[in-house]
Structure 1
Amino acid sequence: MSIPPPPEPQGPPAQGPESPQDQPPAPGPPPSPQASTPYNPYAPPSQDPYAPPAQDPHTPYGAQPQPPYGTPPQTPYAPYPQGPQTPPGPFGPQPYQTWSQGYTPYNTPAPLNGMSVAALVLGVLCCVPGVGFVLGLVALNQIKKRGERGRSMAAAGMVLSAFGLIVWVLGATGVASDVWDGVKDSARTNSSTSPVKGECFDAPSGSLEGMTYDFDVVSCDGEHDGEVFAVVRMDSGSYPGDKKVTATADDKCYALQDAYAMDGWAVPDDVDIYYVTPTSRSWSLGDREITCVFGNTDEEASLPGGSLRNDATTLDSDQVAYLKAAHVLNSALDSAPDAQYVEDDLPGHKAWAGRVSTALTQQADPLESHEWPGASEKPVAALVKDLRAAQKEWAEAAKSSDADEFYGHYDKGADLIDPQKSVTARKALGLATTPPSYDENDGGGDGGGDAGGMEV
C-alpha cells in the first residue's frame, strides 16, 4: 500500500508563470439574460416563462395586456382623467398641465356681431327711426346665443334710435316745432350776442359805454337804451387791433344811418350814434360783427318809446323818392375838408364846392322828373328851382381864384339850399318839418355830438 505524500506548507505563491487558476476565462458566448428577467406568471405555457411579455401594437401606450387566464381586477386607464390629475407621459406623470384650446395666450377673440354695428350706425344717423332699435334687439339675441362681442354697441344703437323715433313723432305732430320755437325765443331773449337790425335793447349796466357781455332785447314801444340800425361784418383773419376796429365802426355806422332813418329830421337832436365792437377775446371765438346803435347823447339816459326807423318799410314811394334825392346832397356837404377856413386850404374847398355842385344837379333831376301828388307838386317844383340856382353858384365857387371870390359864391349858394326852403315841400309829403340843429362837432350831420363805442 502506498502512502500519499504530505501536504505542502502554506505561504505566498511562488513567483513564476501564472497558474491555470489565474488565467482569464476563455472567450465564449455571453451569459444568458434569462437569469436576470423576473418571472411572469401570466406568460402562456408555450413560451419561455422567463421571457418578457409581447407588446400588442393595437394596445394603447401604458395599458396592460389582457392575460389569457382571466383579467385581474384593475381600473382602466382614462386618457384624459377628470380632476387635477394629468395624463402620464412617456416618462411618467407630467409635472405641469399643458395649454389647451381656450386657454392659450394667443387665443383669437370672439367675433364682433354685425347687427350690433348696424344698429349703432343707424342710431347715430337717425335717418330711419326705429330700424336701429329693431336691429339692436336682434343683435342682443344673436350675441347671447353665439357668444359674440358687441353688446354695448347694440344697446347704444337702441337708445339713439329710440330718441330719434321720439323726435320724429313729435315733429310729425307739430309739438317739436312749437318747442323749438320756444327755445329760440328764449335764446334770443337771453342771448349774449348782439341784437339784430331793428331790435331795441337795454344794456345791463344802463350805459352804452364800456364793456358788456349781454343784451336784454326789449320792445321799442317803451323806453330803451338803444336801437340797432345796422350790423356790419368785418373780414376774417387775425384781430386788426382796437384802433382799426373803432375806425371801421365809425366810418360804417355814420354812412349807414341814413338807410335806416332816411328822414334825418325825424331823429331827435338828443340821439347819437354808438357801436358795439368785438374785442380780441371775442374775435378769437368767431365774433366779427360791428353793431351800429342809436342811443341818447347822455349815455346814462334812455330813448323814449317808439322806433326811429323810417325807410321803405314804413314810408310811401313819394316820401322815399324825395329822401333819396336829398341824401345825395347831404353826402356831398358832409365831405367838406378838415380845414375850417378857406384860406388854410383853398384847393380843398374848391374841390368840395365842385362835389356839391354835382350833387345839386343829381338831386334836382329826379325831383323834377318824378310825378308828385297834387298837394306836393308846386312846393317840390319851387324847391327844384332853388336847387338849380344854387348849383350855378357852387360851380362858380369851384372856379374861384382866391378865398374872397370863393366866399362870395359860397354865401349865395348856401342861402339857396337853406333847410327852411324845403319845409313847405316836406309838409306836403307828410315828412318831418323841424330842421335838425347844426353842431360843428358832428361835421354838419343830423345827429348829436361825438359818437361813443361799446365793446363785447
Structure 2
Amino acid sequence: MSTPSQPGGHQDGGPPGHPASQPPPPPYPGAGYGSPHPPTGPGTPPGGPGQAGGGYPGGPGYGPPGGPPGWGPPPKAPMNTLAVTAFVLSLVLLFPAALVLGIIALGRVGTSRERGKGLAITAICLASAQIVALAVLVPLALDDSDDTKAESQETSEDRVDEEPPEPPDDPEPGDDEPGDEGVDTIVFDLRVGDCFDPPGGLGAYEEEGALEQSVSVVPCDQPHEAEVYGQFDVTGYGAFPGSEELAGLADQECRALVQPYVLDTWALPIEAQPYYYHPEATSWRIGDREILCFFGRVDGGTLDEALRRDPAELDEEALTYLELTMPLELAFLDEPLTDDDTSALQAWAGSLVDAIDAEMAALSAVEWSLVGGEIESLLAARESSLSSWNAATEAEGDDFWMAVDDGYATMGIDVELNIRQALGLSLG
C-alpha cells in the first residue's frame, strides 16, 4: 500500500446554503481533501478554513505521495522487488527462499538506485535465525518424544488418580476488544467503521511517507486519529496506473462515500478531513487493489467520538432530503483550483447546471409532508439561479465570477436552512 493521500482544494466563494453575512456552512463544513501541507486537487468547498475558500486537502496513501503539484515531495527511488519478496517470505517462515533472494537483492541494491537494502538485510537475518532455531529445536523435540514413549510404558496401577483439570473460565464479554493501547492490525484487515491510530501519526507522512504494515485499532468512543468510512477496489487497469491517477480516482470515489456514512455532511466536525490509502507500485505488483477512505485531522489531533451516524436517528423524510441534495453539494466541491483555466471553470459551471436540474426533478417527485411549502420555495430559488449559472458557462474573467456570485446568492440559502431546521438536521 502507499502513503495516505487527501483530495484537493477550492476557490473563494460560498457553497449553497450559506448566507453572505456569516461563514457559509459548506457540505463538508470546513473540511477538504488535502494534506498537512497546502491543499490541492478538485473538491474543496468554498469558505473552508486555512485558505481562501477552504479545501479538501490532498492526503496520504500507502507509499510515496503522488498526484498533482503540491501533493508532497517527489517520488522516492523505486523499491527493489526481490528485497520486498525476500522480506515477505521471511515473515511466512519460507526461510530457504528468503535467504537466497535476500542475498541476491542485497547485491543488486548495492549496484543500483533502487531502495530495499534494509528489507534485504532483515530478510537475511530472519531466515538465518530461523535456520538456527530449527537446528536447535528438532533435536530437542526428538529427545522429548523418546521421554514420552518411556513414560507411556508405566502400568495403570503405578499411576496416581488425578482429578481432571477444570475447564478455563469463559472469557468475559469484551475481553478480546482493544484496550487503551489498541490492537495491532495489518492495514489490509481494516474495515469500514474501524477507528485506528497510524504509527507515528498522520503528521509523519508529510515528511517521509510510510510503507504501512499495520495500525493500532482502538474503540471509536475513545480518542483516535482516524476512522474508516469507505472502501473500494480499483478495477480496469492492467499495469500500475500511477499515483496521480489513483489519487484522482480516490478523490472522486471517497468523496461520494462520505454522506452515506455520516448521513448529514453539515454535521461533520470542522476538524475532520477525508484521507485515503491507495496502492503504490510495489504493492500493486503483489495484488494490492484496495483504496481505503478514512477521516483524520491535519493538525495531528484526535477525534473524540465515532463520526458514523445511525439512520434510525433521523426520520424517513430527512434521510430522503439528504440523499437527494447530496449530488449538487458534491458538484460544488469540484470547482477548479485555478483562475486561469477558463474552459475548466466554464465546464464546472455547466456541471452545476446539470446538477441543479437533476436535484429539482428529484425533489419534485417526492411528496413532502413536513416541508412541502419550503420545498416549493427552494425549487423556485434553484430555478432562478439557473440563469446565472448558465451565463457562467460562457463568461470569462470578472464576468465569470460575477455570474458565480449571483448564482450562489439566488439559490435559496435561507429556504434551505429553514428546511434543515424543520427536519431536525444540522445548520452547519
What TM-score do the two structures reach when normalised by structure 2? 0.50
Which of these two proteins has the greater Rg computed from alpha carbons? 1
Return the structure number with greater relative CO, CA threshold 8 A, min gap 6.
Answer: 2
